[in-house]
Amino acid sequence: MFKVEKVNGTCSVIKLKEPTRITGEISIEFREWLLKQKFEQSKAVIFDADNLIFIDSMGIASFIALYKKLSQSRIPIVLCGLSPDLKNLFMMLKLNTLFDIDCDSVSMALERFGR
């Protein structure tokens, strides 16, 4: 359901294999999966939201948990390609201060954070 790719040897890009609602049980699974990944050597963790239909509060908590895990090493977390509704949700929670949500695509995120 989720996969991670190393791009340019520097950034980790998380992708959803198919259109997904990260809610309920899937949120719990996502959190476990996300926190198992080794991102410590990455310049940035980029989440490609292209296939993300919706994410609930537990799903968002997964990103906060990852932020807490990576905060010592100051690795930015980029959520790119969020739909307008999801962007509004992250902004309402003021999580745009923890995560970068302004990139429209993975290539834009790589351009900005991958160098």
Partner 1 sequence: MGKILVVDDDRTIRMLLKLILNKVGHDVLEAFDAKTGLSVAELESPDLILLDLMLPDMNGLELLDTIKKNKQLEKIPIIVLTGSTDQENKLIALRNGAVDFITKPFLHEEVLLRVKTQLKLHNLINSLENAVSILEKDLVAASRIQKSLIPSSPPEGYFESIHWIYEPSHKVGGDIFDIIAIDEKTVLLYLADIAGHGVNAAMLSVIVHRFIEDYCDNHPNFELGKFMLELDKNFRFNDFKLFFTVTAALFHNDSKTVEITNAGHPAPILIAEDIFELKESAESIIGIDMLKGSTKSYNISSGARFFLYTDGVTEATDDDGQLFGSRRLMESLYKYRNLELKNQLESVFYQLKAFNGSKEFEDDISIIGIQFQ
Binding residue (CB under 8 A) for partner 1 from 93, 105, 111, 115: 93
Alpha helices in 1-115 (DSSP H): 24-36, 57-70, 84-92, 106-113
Using alpha carbons only, how large is the chain's radius of gyration in Å?
13
Binding residue count for partner 1, defined by CB under 8 A? 21
With binding defined as CB under 8 A, does residue 12 bind partner 1?
Answer: no
Q: How far apart are CA 88 and CA 112, in angstroms?
A: 22
| Position 36 contacts partner 1 (CB under 8 A) | no
Is 98 a residue that touches partner 1 (CB under 8 A)? Answer: yes
Query: Which of 7, 53, 70, 108 is close enough to bind partner 1 by CB under 8 A?
Result: 53
Residue 70 found at the interface with partner 1 (CB under 8 A): no
Structure tokens at 97: 């201060």
What's the full length of the chain, in residues? 115
Q: Candidates 2, 37, 50, 56: give the one binding partner 1 (CB under 8 A).
A: 56
**How far apart are the C-alpha atoms of 43 and 64, rounded to whole Å?**
18
Residues that bind partner 1 (CB under 8 A): 23-24, 27, 53-54, 56-58, 60-61, 64-65, 68, 85, 89, 92-95, 97-98
